[in-house]
Structure 1
């Protein structure tokens, strides 16, 4: 069980055998644990045995390969600050220390990125490995290491790997973590040596989960089977530039636009497409932009089958590419109480245990040409350097930009060895991959790629291959050959320099250095916010962002047999949007549009987030500084916790105007009277409104969307309401509400906020109608009738979940977070989950709120993604900065630092973030000296 593969999954056709295999293997584990445990877990496997894997944090350890002593100082939360005299010693120590706390997590990640999960977890992961091998992340990472990365970066990666391997030396699996002890009873897996490429590969996994609009591309294409262009356009409304401000507001691109128009705007020579909608949130609806939309059942069947393949993949940091958001903003010194900038960041990612982030400081005792780093922040266990944080003079944060860096192509096959392209048959490039399987026979697969390196995703599912050969298409496709396949074009499948960017950012001294580092950050494309101690703020969009031919916007899959749909180049770095010291005095990024479509010539994407969070943050900043107010570090923290529901502000007045006959439903309706739209954990009104919102979506759209849009995430196995601890699969309930078996449902994100907003002044729209059914007498003919039905359904849904007495209702009873170990804690008997998992926590916040504790309206109210960390950097006094992690520093289940930050995180608290040597010394609890 790799990261998060089963935590939110229900049964799927054709997979019962695999699930039985997982269950059987876990039962064996539990039987063995029951035999060998002590009073709680058996006599053999005692707590002292478990503690043997805990890291040594005091005294000294000799490490072969160090050139001088290194100090590792940990505070009361186990967060390490490392002090060394050379770059190589610094990164070697980082590798050693991260392996002490998180090696099992690191090992699982590298098996995922290389498509080798079956080596650890057996045959249940073969399908996932086949797909991951097809993408070939580790192969691209190896190419990066061999041909793209700087000599200095390679030295840092080598030093880090040397530190990890120094930790592994002489250790068995049980000496490293409890999970290896459990795995040892089912197979003979032994951890292998760490390599520099293992670290580079992680960037590919991160880029996959942050890849942009591929899911929307699939959805739009599938919608054409049941919906017309106008209906699809209504479900993908234009971005509301007039209401929700773009990130870049003062950047001037007049000369760029002029040059673009003079070149004809045809996408040639690195130019984009001036005729496309420029990221308007819904460019095309079914083939109007030159797509494979006319290929009928070929595309429909291939993409429908691709859903299952994609859904079953393990996640790296996100939710399989869906629902990913983040907040970051920076306020200039003229509006802060210190007179220097403040910078806040809280990336929204999958809830995982341990957290994807690892807090750490990397300090050269004396910064010089030999030792160049004095940086602190959030790292990824398994990768050297600091991803988000600050050094002595600058700070930076990141959010996902959402730019479109992936395109799907429908390929017309000619036999098994070729594909059609501009009227000719071209041969595939092929390679054979061998997948080793713990406890079973190895499996060989053949990976096929087009001439320009696009892998055939559809080769990885037998059903897709069969369907592709049987598919019928109209005359839009070449009329010869042996079927169809789906191929992927993605910037991350080309070698890049993002690893160079990580180190360059860590030692940057000013805005020019920062932009030079950002130029190296090709994938994933992230919104970068900046602040420095010299009182400057800035924003940069980096990344390798493709340009497309005229009238092609990448919104739905394209025909691979026609060269005019190929990418035409990439936007030059100097042409990418940025801002530096804008007059307004602040910059906000929260996945909204980067720049107004009328101010920028290139199409960055057609699928921005719709700006609900970003505009709320902007409004909070404006409110605070109105009349000369100043913003403090704690003000920034309070903004991060804002749980205002923007969709409630739109709907509640209308809901209160509706007359209801049932006194019990009227009682629930009255909860909304005087409600302040805050989604506090103890709010009954928030619980009822969110249930009403979920039912509005279900009634208005659920029975009208193509059934192919159903995905696992829309019908979840969830932990029962009011469970007070970890539960096993037998205790979980199938959380599908009242949706019909063949009905797709919206997830409830801020795209759906915009959809409903645009339909509010169309009370007789067909979207507001519902049919009569055997289980639901009476039909809804307009908006108000549907809203009334939603309030009725919500009342009885919450009665079933929370009881009839509305005085006992609260949002937190529905909206709960369970932290689950990403492998052995995601399914199986409760005994094993009890050892590894933690929770629940009743949370405030909600979908598209600034405090974005996200939930999927199609599958229930449980927390799916979270602010994975929060930080506020004070550029006037870095020691007064604040930070918090979702879990803790340790990946060891019985460590005091396994989840010691979670309670404070749930309450919205931040920890002191020591940076100077004096502050670090004052906060130090344990000191370990690594000696050469």
Structure 2
């Protein structure tokens, strides 16, 4: 027995050791080589890749071909799984990678036609851009050569336990298509169109209007003043009133909402109202004497981050190799998206322009009605390759307005059976049923040269070249801020923004009348812009770009301007009495956690008489400064109250598919209602007696105190906002749906964070579902053009996409604390920061 026991013990030790060795080998198999020498086919000359302790690479090459070839190779070293998922998403081929669970998503993306649009875009690109993309693709493929499974990433080894999958070679279209995903995540107004229509089915027009109040430009000023852009041009479209939609059409729109929101977080996590902050300050107000520029795009959190920090440097700058640029790149796309070169710096925020409209279509068989005539639907077949299953064929249909997104799954083919359409015009889609179909017209489906624009930005030398690059930037529509070494600052709104014959883009419109067509696009020269404005600074935060009497309609639904107003307040405060703004001040403003809705609502809350158990919680608010750090007890209680106010006042009156998420629009709605104590919104529709504002607020406070007491203890002073408001870095594929061990392997731990929805430190949450973070400043940067090496940056996660790599999550703690890293740019500074140097050589030299 002793012998048997000894043998069994020995066997367990061996098996345990073998398992440990297997796990270690699997996890480390894809860790990249970052030092020494590599010889690769396809290189023309020597290239050096220097990485700092954070794994951030700076590439030095003698030719543009070699520069982008190595960019592709290095990004694939660190992030190929992410790149692979991105390209399958944009191609509508996730089913090929993950199996039948992604058929619905693939069908929707094939219906939208992202890959087909990318093909049209590629055909329009300049020869130089095509060469850069081809070189990048060759670099990715050089990395893929001879690698498979765990050697490409831990995720591939885990995926192999479920399906058989081997990545194919990278193509130029894989890179070009990614802008479609960006444009989709940053589109504006589609959801608001649907929500308005659905709300109009349950509420009178006056109350619908109260849910979409006009922006107060006297309180929240626009980005640029009216005199900053030449006037003239077409008149804005006449506002469209709420359409009298039959119930069948509203049902159809509700289904479209659910379809859009069911899109998986394999690209950018599903997120209504993605935003961003950026601002630029003239040298006359800075401690450096030259401009300072800040940017922090707000997107759904990803692990790894959507951004990849990188420098691309030609060792000898020439017309054949004109790049000396650094900043934030996107894995899968060559070039630098946001950053600076040796002359200019730039940043982006979502411009919130309305570039998409929904058209209700009358369909009969394979035809649709337009201006009294029936026209054949455009129709094509798409075949989906499905891992572990037979291929699936889907039919995609479109009208002159765009693809019928209501065809995108079986449920939506039943397009409004109760719609009272005349018999001769009843819709009869291929799935059966009758009623209305819904088409999407979207500028991103038009051919464009946005990829050309990105390379033009990377090598721009001045304001004129910057604007020339912006003129080619079509989608997604953005705000662009600018600074240069000569001391100039500027702003440009680029993009294709439609001019409508009728309507203001606020509601879905009838497609069969011909009355709501797009008649063209705002000429680039007429788009808002500013150069060295008298104010000495420019701030953008997705708010109104320009006020009346600007002759064109940009959007009915920009952000309501709370963040931009706070940024401007901070800038004015920092320059009072001749003081100057430092780079540290710019970073401090990025971490501003002041809550404007708290400042408006708390004075009403503190005046209420509440029960004894709630009074202790109420007292937290009496001396509160309305900021929301993770350690704040008042912020914890207030946000719970705020969520309950929204639930009691609005959620029960609206269709379930209309989100009451607590963002800036809800700030504006509640601010306008608060002075009216007897507004119908305060009344509980489930009771016979009429309630007022104070009764609803009291109810919310008492319920919040009780809920907080049960969850976090009975001492309100011990409550912490960060205990409720947490960010869990999550791999957006296997980390969301895999078994527990896979989530443990790939995901980070929950982190307490400060900030909140519609604050400058925009760690947003969905008030309907809780306080977990659903939107973040995905990166932060401050550029000092007086000395680029004094610039700073931070990413959400880290350079590496490989779990357990030292650079997988190493920037998260700094990001959590609002801190940034030194951003080396000059060759001297890069060398001083270098921890690992890799030399790549042509194979046959």
Cα 1:605–1:311 shift into 2, 3 Å:
same
TM-superposed CA distance for 1:653, in Å, is 1.1
SS at match of 2:403: coil
TM-superposed CA distance for 1:430, in Å, is 1.1
Cα 1:885–1:476 shift into 2, 3 Å:
farther
Q: Does 1:303 align with 2:245?
A: no
Cα pair 1:747 1:856 within 8 Å, conserved: yes
- Pick the aligned partner of 1:424 from 355, 373, 388: 373
TM-superposed CA distance for 1:173, in Å, is 2.1
Cα pair 2:427 2:437 within 8 Å, conserved: no
Q: Does 1:353 align with 2:267?
A: no
TM-superposed CA distance for 1:380, in Å, is 0.3
Q: Does 1:238 align with 2:190?
A: no
Q: Normalized against structure 2, the TM-score is what?
A: 0.95
Distance in structure 1 (CA, Å) of the matches to 2:796 and 2:405? 34
Distance in structure 1 (CA, Å) of the matches to 2:820 and 2:811? 9
Cα pair 2:249 2:419 within 8 Å, conserved: no
SS at match of 1:426: strand
Cα pair 1:401 1:591 within 8 Å, conserved: yes
Q: Which aligned pairs between 1:160-179 and structure 2 lie closer than 5 A?
A: 160-179=136-155
SS at match of 2:22: coil
Q: Does 1:466 align with 2:414?
A: yes
Q: Which aligned pairs between 1:359-758 and structure 2 lie closer than 5 A?
A: 359-415=309-365, 417-451=366-400, 454-468=402-416, 470-473=417-420, 482-550=434-502, 552-596=503-547, 598-660=548-610, 662-709=611-658, 746-758=660-672
Cα pair 1:884 1:910 within 8 Å, conserved: yes
Cα 1:181–1:36 shift into 2, 3 Å:
farther
Q: What RMSD over aligned residues (CA atoms) do the two structures have, in Å?
A: 1.8
Cα 1:772–1:226 shift into 2, 3 Å:
closer
SS at match of 2:750: strand
Question: 2:771 corresponds to which residue?
Answer: 861
Deviations 1:541-563 (A, max 9, x none): 0001100013x111110111011
- Pick the aligned partner of 1:770 from 654, 659, 684: 684
Distance in structure 2 (CA, Å) of the matches to 1:848 and 1:880? 30
Q: Does 1:140 align with 2:140?
A: no
Cα 1:605–1:921 shift into 2, 3 Å:
same
Q: Does 1:213 align with 2:175?
A: no
SS at match of 1:377: strand
SS at match of 1:627: helix
Deviations 1:639-698 (A, max 9, x none): 0001001001101111111111x2110010000011111101111000001111111111
Cα pair 1:212 1:321 within 8 Å, conserved: no
Shifted more, 387-396 versus 556-565: the winner is 556-565
Distance in structure 2 (CA, Å) of the matches to 1:113 and 1:40? 42
TM-superposed CA distance for 1:808, in Å, is 2.1
Deviations 1:233-263 (A, max 9, x none): 000000111100100125345641xx54xxx
Cα 1:780–1:36 shift into 2, 3 Å:
farther
Count, aligned residues: 826
Question: 2:41 corresponds to which residue?
Answer: 64
Deviations 1:129-175 (A, max 9, x none): 111111111111011112x1000000000000000000000111221
Distance in structure 2 (CA, Å) of the matches to 1:319 and 1:236? 25
Distance in structure 2 (CA, Å) of the matches to 1:644 and 1:783? 25
Deviations 1:184-226 (A, max 9, x none): 1222200100000000100000000000010000000111110
- Pick the aligned partner of 1:931 from 827, 841, 845: 841
SS at match of 1:707: coil
TM-superposed CA distance for 1:390, in Å, is 0.2
Cα pair 1:36 1:44 within 8 Å, conserved: no
Deviations 1:90-115 (A, max 9, x none): 00000000000000000001000000
Specify every segment of 5 or more residues in structure 1 that has no aligned partner in the other structure, as ranges: 1-34, 266-271, 277-283, 288-292, 710-744
Distance in structure 2 (CA, Å) of the matches to 1:910 and 1:851? 14
Cα 1:422–1:916 shift into 2, 3 Å:
same
Distance in structure 1 (CA, Å) of the matches to 2:72 and 2:138? 7
Cα pair 2:593 2:627 within 8 Å, conserved: yes
- Pick the aligned partner of 2:811 from 887, 891, 901: 901
Question: 1:18 corresponds to which residue?
Answer: none
Q: Does 1:248 align with 2:158?
A: no
Cα 1:254–1:352 shift into 2, 3 Å:
closer
Cα pair 2:324 2:341 within 8 Å, conserved: yes
Cα 1:307–1:629 shift into 2, 3 Å:
same
Cα 1:329–1:862 shift into 2, 3 Å:
same
TM-superposed CA distance for 1:564, in Å, is 1.6
Distance in structure 2 (CA, Å) of the matches to 1:664 and 1:480? 59
Specify every segment of 5 or more residues in structure 2 that has no aligned partner in the other structure, as ranges: 1-11, 429-433
Cα pair 2:265 2:733 within 8 Å, conserved: no
Shifted more, 37-46 versus 640-649: the winner is 37-46
